């Protein structure tokens, strides 16, 4: 049984390596197309958002507290606050909304 775990780790390592290596091997020259470069520039941000945003709304006991934290984080980030400040404000918003929802049981969905 333990041998299977090592095999799984090896296969996943090879898969990860191939996904990262193949674009470097297949493209011989620099990409000069503005649209493709722009697309490739935003791919990491889009992937991070696609993985993070659903977790924001499901990480708390209520979607309302997750939405409040998300909204506060968006506003703070838009106002160019530092990352730690944004995170602390979002956590505080989630905490406050969770406490309010605990006081009003009808609103906790």
| Sequence ranges of the domains in the chain | 2-107
Q: Given this model, what pLDDT does residue 108 score?
A: 52
Quote the Cα angle for 91-57-97, to 5°. 45
- State the first-to-last Cα distance of the chain, in angstroms, to the nearest integer: 43
Tell me if the pTM is above 0.85. Answer: no
Is 18's pLDDT higher than 80? yes
**Each residue of 36-90: pLDDT tens digit?**
889 888 988 898 889 999 999 999 888 999 999 999 999 999 999 999 999 999 9
User: How many residues are given for the chain?
Assistant: 109
Listing DSSP states for the chain in one string gives: -HHHHHHHHHHHHHHHHHHHHHHHHH--S----HHHHHHHHHHHHHHHHHHHHHHHHHSSSSHHHHHHHHHHHHHHHHTT--HHHHHHHHHHHHHHHHHHHHH-GGG--
Question: Greater confidence, 30 or 9?
Answer: 9
Q: Given this model, what pLDDT does residue 105 score?
A: 66
Is 20's pLDDT higher than 90? no
């Amino acid at each position: 049984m333990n041998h299977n775990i090592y095999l799984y780790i090896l296969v996943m390592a090879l898969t990860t390596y191939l996904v990262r290596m193949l674009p470097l091997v297949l493209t011989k020259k620099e990409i000069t197309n503005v649209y493709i470069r722009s697309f490739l520039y935003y791919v990491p941000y889009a992937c991070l958002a696609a993985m993070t945003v659903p977790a924001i709304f499901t990480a708390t006991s209520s979607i309302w507290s997750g939405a409040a934290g998300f909204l506060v984080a968006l506003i703070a980030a838009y106002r160019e606050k530092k990352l730690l400040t944004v995170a602390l404000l979002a956590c505080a918003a989630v905490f406050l909304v969770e406490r309010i929802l605990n006081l009003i049981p009808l609103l906790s969905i």
